[in-house]
Structure 1
Amino acid sequence: MQPSEVWATHQSSTVVSPRWPVQAVWCILQSNPARACFPRVYRLSYQHETGGPVAQSLQAQKWHCIDIEFPCGNIERPFEISLEAEFAGPGGATLTIPGFYNGDDTWVVRFAPTAEGEWRYRTAAGAQGLDKKEGALLCVPNTKPWVHGKLVIDTDHPRHFVYEDGTRYFTIGFELDWLFALDLETGTLDKTSQIIDEVAGNGFNHIVMNVYAHDVTWEIQGRGTPHDYSNPARFVFGGTNEEPDHSVLNIAFFRHLDRVIAYLQEKEIIAHLMVYVWNKRVNWPEKGSLADDRYLDYVVARYQAFSNLVWDVSKEALTYDYCGQDYITNRGRRIRARDAYNRLLTVHDDNYCRKNPGEVDFHSVQTWRSDLYAQMLGLYGELSMPLFNIEHGGYEKGPYKTFTGDYQDPYACLERNYECIFAGAYSTYYWQCSSWNIVIGEVSSLDPKVRPHWEYFKYMQEYFADIPYHELMPAREGVMSGLLLAKEDHSLYLLFKPTGSHAFHFTPSPDVKTYDAEWFNPVTGERQAAGTFERIHFREMECPWGEHMALLAIRCYKE
């Protein structure tokens, strides 16, 4: 995707406001109107005759970002200037949105209206040229089918997610730590869109990503190849990672990250944004310093309006002895204090989530244990929030050996994802040639012998579109082996047969008279009816694919 496609139209006009004897000149930049997720930008340049504020009506769709720009020159240290706008909307709704410096003597307040109707705003700033600016906008209905509002916890099923508009969300995660870096040198989205399109087309809807990462700390294959994105072309701060200037932030870097997150939204993918990472050779500011706070505040101000955003304070937050729990808690609370939209927040650290459940909205766990199902099931029983296995030790192999973990076989990796699902949790996938700094985006062109098996997750997403996962709970009664999910009323059982067994022996609840059964092959996507059966004790259900991994859905009838 070229910049001309991202910024498809450019219009300018001059309007005299009937309320104030001033002239307002603005520039509207819109992305492709067919797929317009990137914030529309309104540049408001006031030529005041009386010094009074101007109210100019704009328009934005519900849950869509709009950038309201405020030019102000002659500011010596622009990143130190505070700016916020208080928005008042329908039904007494109020949102206080922090602004951010966007270069070119311009500050931005990025706003996404949450209710249809008129919204009015007024700024408060640490610079006279930005202070007490007023305006209004009209929120109109959302017309884009890929925009659903923010991701929230389902109040009726608090271990599960749902979108704000009620759309169900079956989470299938994919870690792409260096996604931000793929097109930094060119300013396009060519490579970024290529891999996101592949990922989205295979059922993944939750990308775990860093704001910035520099390099890995272990030996890898692929160094020096076109797939090596170590030492990114742009640093997140001023200067370089080797000689950083933490007093400023790299505007060009963040403008590109804007486009990446916006493109994820077009593909109905949640951006699970890890604000920090400790083992990727990033030269961070001193913990808790003014520069550290400035970075965090800037990220929150710039990205909170994207409705497809979830916060993660840090990848492997407490693993490397870089910081303690108090620092992570401070960072999380600082995010919450500045995020007017209350996006979901987690921490990539099981111990932190266990000890601080009130600080996170869902529990993230990393575990490689061979008894994965048992561990996840134990956590499920302890929690009353969604459980997200963010790293289970399975890293599917590819052309380069980068980080093998304990499981490389695609079949074994898939089975571990299903173990999480049948424990009532959600899970994440890793491919060795995309999850870190070695990124192969042209997956479809690879030799099938080394191509990743992303199609397994396409079949998974398609299958669970027909299964009310949020109504199922882990269970044991009724089966002698395998894993089981069941509805509370016993109208639906979902069974998982691991590799090595050839059948289930199944007994439904006593009030069931008949049931239909259907097999699902998670490797091919094939479904095969097993038939309709009368209830008997201990019926053998033999898998049509022998000892291969399989699922069996049983729908029960009591009359």
Structure 2
Amino acid sequence: MDVIFKPQVAKWDVFEVELKGKTEGNPFTDYRIQGYFKGEQEQVTADGFYNGDGSYKVRFMPSYEGEYTFVITGDFSEGEAEGKFLVSAARKENHGPVRVVNKFHFSYEDGTKYYSIGTTCYVWELQSDELIAETLKSLFATGFNKIRFCIFPKHYDYNLGEPRSYPYEGTPIDSSILTSDNFNDYTASLGNLKKGNDWDFTRFNPEHFTHIENCIYELGKRGIEADLIVMHPYDRWGFSQMTKEQDDLYFNYVIARFAAFHNVWWSLANEYDLLPEKSMEDWERYASIICEKDPYHHLRSIHNCFGFYDHTRPWITHCSIQRQELYRSSELVNEWRTQFGKPVVLDEIAYEGNIQHGWGNISGEEMLRRFWEAALRGGYPGHSECFMSHDNILWWSHGGKLKGESWKRFQFLHDIMLDTPGYGLMPYEKCGWDEICGVPEKEKEEPIKDYYLFYYSFMRPSFRTFYFDDKNEYDVEVIDSWNMTIESRGRYKGKFHIALPGRAFMAIRVKKSLS
């Protein structure tokens, strides 16, 4: 049997074995392929997949350096295949998968801090090569380190065109009838129009998935996590209305293809509660498939529109939250931390922009305020933007160039977060009622009381008075979160007074002096 693989791979990179096999019948459903990988410190079993043209593949992500062996089995071909390969040190930019640490926070597997500064760009990878390249350039320039996007194409306002590819063999309905003017009428009859699609839900289109893999790889090179939305309701092609058997086949195929990439997160759905065809039993079944089939235990969550999923469920690693109120979002992080006992990721706190929908037209100043307030309360805020333009390209759906103001200021916040002790902040509720204060969190939800970060959001105090104790000295800095400046104000002891410029979005950082 011809076996194709590279003899060496870096730690946490994708090791791939390719073999030729049977093509009779339907190789996506009729045959199985599985790999067993063994090193000195780990043993992993991973499902493989059919990649078209008689090609079968199995992928593996090694977590240790050293020599490994593999055995490939299954009825896809006659006999077994085996071999060995060497795992070298991780590439400088690869710190491994992101894990939960200290209950409410994250780090990379090698212990490097990870503060999520995410964005939503639903189908950026299904656009033209030129637009994809522009999106990757924008992502790298902004400092975003996570992006949410869909595996399936998406149908919604400002996104009525056809994607570059489809996940299944077959043909879609004629999209020439779609315009912004008839969108509402079209949506009303969506169920009937879905019947115009002609898909074989047992035969995947490998080119669609190979392209997404290339995009995941490009994100990984830039230090960006790929938060994959496996299902969603915004669909005119029928992908949201598959049978249980078809759904399960899809989940298994997606896991076999994508799980070996170190930068993958699983989001079972975007707005799961807008999928009436799916029951709670369905969602729990999908989750059990991921837990069983993903040998690397990537981060897992599910995203709401109205009602939260029960984020206390053991398979959920972190909360993926869309705000439920028009005005309050980041203000509720304290409550959600207490309620769910897991990292709180605010993947949708409304978007900067100027479209008609209330979720897509907040100002850059308000977006930045929500970021700072979430971060200081111990949460992880997410961004997107929806600006009308002559080309009808909105970052929220298509990617391209960012047009807003808030994104320019996220790297500044991220740098401040990286400069804090420990892995994350927690809300310090003993501070004043009219300020937000974050302090570093220790393992047992205890504050480290030698570092304080105060934030005044839209309020504009001209001064603040502080008192910690009479023994220690404290170094004080005034931070302008909008203008991105940090001004040292010197060292203080006992009760002291700090002047402020009377502008919104100011912060004060207080650190116990070590000298």
TM normalised by structure 2 equals: 0.86
> Bigger relative contact order, structure 1 or 2, given CA contacts below 8 A and separation 6+?
2
1:101: how far off? 0.9
Any conservation in 2 of the 1:82–1:99 contact (CA below 8 Å)?
yes
1:276: how far off? 0.5
Any conservation in 2 of the 1:278–1:322 contact (CA below 8 Å)?
no
Per the alignment, residue 18 of structure 1 pairs with none
1:429: how far off? 0.3
Per the alignment, residue 177 of structure 2 pairs with none
Per the alignment, residue 201 of structure 1 pairs with 141
1:107: how far off? 0.3
* 2:155 is the alignment partner of 1:215: yes
Q: Which amino acid aligns with 2:400?
A: G
Per the alignment, residue 9 of structure 2 pairs with 60
Equivalent-residue separation in structure 2 for 1:249 and 1:191 (angstroms): 25
Any conservation in 2 of the 1:516–1:530 contact (CA below 8 Å)?
yes
Q: Which amino acid aligns with 2:233?
A: W
Of residues 500, 507, 515, the one that matches 1:551 is 507
**Structure 1 residues 453 and 375: alpha-carbon distance in aligned structure 2, compared to 1, 3 A threshold:** closer
Any conservation in 2 of the 1:397–1:404 contact (CA below 8 Å)?
no
**Structure 1 residues 331 and 547: alpha-carbon distance in aligned structure 2, compared to 1, 3 A threshold:** same
* 2:328 is the alignment partner of 1:384: no
Equivalent-residue separation in structure 2 for 1:25 and 1:167 (angstroms): 36
Deviations 1:440-474 (A, max 9, x none): 5144xxxxxx5444211122222222223635320
Any conservation in 2 of the 1:481–1:505 contact (CA below 8 Å)?
no
Of residues 418, 423, 426, the one that matches 1:470 is 423
Per the alignment, residue 96 of structure 1 pairs with 45
Per the alignment, residue 221 of structure 2 pairs with 266
Deviations 1:312-344 (A, max 9, x none): 111111234332221111101111111111111
1:262: how far off? 0.2
Count of aligned residue pairs for this structure pair: 476
Of residues 175, 199, 202, the one that matches 1:244 is 199
Deviations 1:191-243 (A, max 9, x none): 22321221222121011111122311x4x4xxxxxxx6732121111113432
Q: Within 5 A, what are the aligned runs for 1:401-420?
A: 401=355, 403-405=357-359, 407-420=361-374
Of residues 262, 265, 268, the one that matches 1:307 is 262
Q: Which amino acid aligns with 2:87?
A: C
1:149: how far off? 1.0
In structure 1, the gaps of 5 or more residues are 1-21, 27-41, 43-56, 221-227, 444-449
Q: Which amino acid aligns with 1:474?
A: P
Q: Which amino acid aligns with 1:118?
A: E
**Structure 1 residues 118 and 526: alpha-carbon distance in aligned structure 2, compared to 1, 3 A threshold:** same
Of residues 521, 524, 527, the one that matches 2:486 is 527
Of residues 318, 321, 324, the one that matches 2:273 is 318
SS at structure 2 position matched to 1:510:
coil
Of residues 166, 175, 190, the one that matches 2:111 is 166
TM normalised by structure 1 equals: 0.80
Equivalent-residue separation in structure 2 for 1:531 and 1:514 (angstroms): 10
SS at structure 2 position matched to 1:265:
helix
SS at structure 1 position matched to 2:386:
coil
Equivalent-residue separation in structure 2 for 1:382 and 1:407 (angstroms): 29
**Structure 1 residues 287 and 215: alpha-carbon distance in aligned structure 2, compared to 1, 3 A threshold:** closer
Of residues 122, 139, 142, the one that matches 2:87 is 139
Q: Which amino acid aligns with 2:321?
A: V
Q: Which amino acid aligns with 1:234?
A: S
Q: How well do the aligned residues superpose, as a CA RMSD in angstroms?
A: 2.4
Equivalent-residue separation in structure 2 for 1:508 and 1:281 (angstroms): 60
SS at structure 2 position matched to 1:412:
helix
Q: Which amino acid aligns with 1:181?
A: L
Per the alignment, residue 151 of structure 1 pairs with 98
Per the alignment, residue 505 of structure 1 pairs with 464
**Structure 1 residues 480 and 297: alpha-carbon distance in aligned structure 2, compared to 1, 3 A threshold:** closer
Q: Which amino acid aligns with 2:292?
A: A
SS at structure 2 position matched to 1:104:
coil
Equivalent-residue separation in structure 2 for 1:495 and 1:512 (angstroms): 21
Per the alignment, residue 541 of structure 1 pairs with 498
* 2:132 is the alignment partner of 1:178: no
Any conservation in 1 of the 2:464–2:500 contact (CA below 8 Å)?
no
Q: Which amino acid aligns with 2:511?
A: R
Equivalent-residue separation in structure 2 for 1:483 and 1:471 (angstroms): 15
